[in-house]
Structure formats: structure tokens, C-alpha cells
Amino acid sequence: MRHFDIQKPDLDLTRQMFNELEKDLRSDKIDLGIGIYRDENGEAPVFKAVKKAEELLFKNEISKSYKSPSGNKEYCENILDLVLGKKNINDRNNKIGSIQIPGAGSGLRIAGELIKNKIKNKTISVPNPTWGQQTFMFQKAGLNILKHSYYDAKNNFLDFENMLKDLNHLKSGDAVLLHGCCHNPTGSDLNLEQWSLVANLCKKNGLLPFIDLVYQGLGNGINEDVLGIQKLVSIVPEVILTVSSSKTFGVYRDRCGLFSVITDADRVTSQSLETMLSEIARELYFHPPDHAAAIINILLNSETLKDEWLFELSNMQKRIVSLRQKIGKSFQEKQQSDFFSFLKNQKGMFSLLPISSEGIIELRKNGGIYLMPDGRINIASVRESQIDYITSKICSLKEFQIRKL
Ligand SMILES: Cc1ncc(COP(=O)(O)O)c(C=O)c1O
């Protein structure tokens, strides 16, 4: 008998796509699938400010002993400050409990455990569509998953009216997943008024918002991108929040993020919330890595490095906005219509292109262009010199030729 005599696994469509991409030997193949920020040279470089902070850490680090399952406290304070701002934190009066985690990916699973163990309904409603890994993590944690309307993928707009209707049908005690900004995969975000309407509905109907924030600074700006979250936190009594530092500080593989629970429950203190969360961390992975958290503290505690980091982040945001305009314009010229103009107004790295599965495979085979199987495109991995080629190939698909007639 062999314990590991397992069959070759069935790969899902995303893994099939990445497998094909790896095996594709064409030197000019274009990867628009993977969710990392790339510069004009196609590189995913380390932020200069992060490298400088890392050098300081390297010089001054005196121990690599364990911290604790709740990770780096100072990092939690620094990131909460960036996301919620001092006023929101003070208004919550010692009722925010936080731990540092190995990235928001882990935050999804922690949220799953928390909702399963503490929330009666064990149910979360996710936007349709949403990033597949979120649903995967909630499923693995054993949650019931519902979907609420979010985006009209045929007509390329945020379907807020149906979103509100669907949220209104949820039961008191259900959780609701909200993307903090730069929705993955659609790039369509709620405006401030819509955040406010969702927050008031959650408050009235006893829904628990869970916010997943990964792209702060890459949508409209470092402060602008969190105004919706701040609005929600000022209205709703209880919120779960996870924040990723992968993209905002470019520390993807070093694994670093924040997980917080905010409440106004009578008996609760930050300490009791933190203990509750660190018990979950202990069960799932024991301790988070400290390296990126320590770097981020050095960076944010130095005015010079913080300014340098903000400048680099703002340049990335500007590049994404400019690529969106240029890609939108190129489509307009090729297609002689405004069909793709939604790309210009959406936010952050991702948009969903309304291309059929056959079209996506055709682009892969004959154009060497790799999109995600759902049509998600990573705008931040497009090089300006490739725009014309990409839009031509897409517009020459049969489905867009027919559209033109
Ligand atoms: C919406 C969303 N949540 C979570 C994550 C995971 O982030 P991290 O690298 O911090 O685990 C991502 C990464 O792409 C994401 O897009």
C-alpha cells in the first residue's frame, strides 16, 4: 500500500493557463494574467524606499527570535493609521483588535474561521464576480457562500441597484465581502455615496462587512482609496478588515498583512480581540514572518523614506491611469466605437474584458496573449509598445468583427 499513490490532479482553468504560459516558448508572449505590478520594462522591481529600509534592517537587526502569533504590533498600528486615520481609530476607543498576518490571502482564511466560529449564520455573501481565491478560502473554512450582484459583465458597469437589492435579502448575522478599492477582477468601485448606502443597510439589517483591501494607492491615491472604508467604519458597529502590503510596498513574497476586528461591544477591549485573533493564527500557521513588517515600520517611521515610497507608489498609480487612457483610446480607434471606454474609468490593476472563452483561447494560441480564463486583464503588465498589438488582436476576434457590422 502507498499513502500517496494519487492521480494526476485536474487543473482548474487558471492553473491550465499558467501551465500553458510557462510552456509557451515564444519570446514575445504577453502575460496579462498574473496579478503583479510591472513597470514599462516588464519588471516587478523592489521599491527603492523599501530596499533602503531593508538595508537599515540588515544593519541594525539584533535578533531573529520569535515574536508572537499576533506578529508585529507596531506594523499593525502603522497600517491601521494609513487605512483608518487617527480620528476613526480614536473614535473606536480601544475596541479595535489587530494582528499582523502573512498577507491578506491568510486574512481570507482567518476571516473564514472567525465567521464560522463566532457568527451564528456561518454565511458570507461575495460580489459576483469576485477574486476566485476569496471564495476558495471561505469554502475551505466551511462557510456557506452566497453571491450578490455587483457588475454587469455584458454591459460593463457596476450594477449597484441590484447589489443593494440582493444585500437587502440577506439575513441578519450574514457577513458581506467588500473590496476596499480597485475591485478584483472588475476595477469597478463603489463611490462614496454608495459606500454610505451599503454601510447604512448593513447597520439596519445586522450584516457584518468584511473588507479586503489590497490596492491602496493604486486607484485614486493613498488617502482617496480608503475614504469609502472610513465612511463605512464611521457608520457600522462591527467590521472585519484585512489589508495586504504585497502590492503597496512590493513585498509580495515576504508575506505581510494586517487583520483587524472593530466592534463597539460593551465588554470588549483591543486586548481581548487580539487574543481571539492570535488563537486563530496559532491554529492556522503559528507565527507570521516578521521581515517585511519590520521593513515597513522602518520606512513609515522615517519621513524621508515615507515620502520616497509615496512618490514611487503615486508614479505607479499614474502609470496605470495613463495606460488605461491609452488602451481605451487604441480600442476606440480600432473599433470605431466607445464599447471599451469603461477601461478608462475603472480603477487599479484589473479590468474584465468581455471576451468569450473561445476568444481567450484564440488570443493565447494565435496571438501569444494570455488573459485570465474569466477575461481579467492586468493593465499594469501592459507595456506601451504592446498596446497596438494587443488591441488589434482583440478587435480582430470574430466576436468583435460581428459587433462592428
Ligand atoms: C482581492 C485580493 N485579496 C487578497 C489578495 C492576497 O494578497 P496577499 O498577497 O497579501 O496575500 C489579493 C492578491 O492578489 C487580492 O487581489
List, for residues 82-107, the tens digit of each pLDDT value: 999 999 999 998 899 999 999 999 99
Pocket probe for ligand 1: among 133, 186, 253, 285, the residue whose CB has the most ligand atoms within 8 Å is 133
The C-alpha cell that represents 98 in the structure block: 489587530
Report pLDDT for 402.
Answer: 67
299-308, Cβ contacts within 8 angstroms, sequence gap of 24 or more: 299/49, 299/50, 299/52, 299/53, 299/249, 300/78, 300/82, 301/78, 302/53, 305/49, 305/52, 305/53, 306/49, 308/48, 308/49, 308/52
User: pLDDT over 70 for what percent of the chain?
Assistant: 99
- DSSP3 helix / strand / coil % (the chain, rounded to 5): 50, 15, 35
Neighbours of 128 (CB within 10 A): 16
325 has a pLDDT exceeding 70: yes
E-state strands within 225-265: 239-244, 257-262
Q: Where are the domains of the chain?
A: 13-35+317-404, 58-301
51 closest CA partner among 245, 246, 222, 298: 298
- 125 beta partners: 146, 176
Shortest-distance Cα residue to atom 2 of ligand 1? 214
Answer whether 296's CB lies under 8 Å from 73's CB: no
Location of C-alpha cell 508572537:
68
**Residue 108 alpha carbon, nearest atom of ligand 1:** 4
Measured CA to CA, the distance from residue 261 to residue 281 in angstroms comes to 14
pTM of the model: 0.97
What is the architecture, at CATH level 2, of domain 13-35+317-404? Alpha-Beta Complex (3.90)
The reply to whether ligand 1 has any atom less than 6 angstroms from the CB of 105 is yes
Instruction: Summarize pLDDT for 26-59 with one digit per residue, the tens.
Output: 999 999 999 999 999 999 999 999 999 999 999 9
Q: Is the peptide bond before 209 cis (omega within 30 degrees of 0)?
A: no
CATH topology of domain 58-301: Aspartate Aminotransferase; domain 2 (3.40.640)
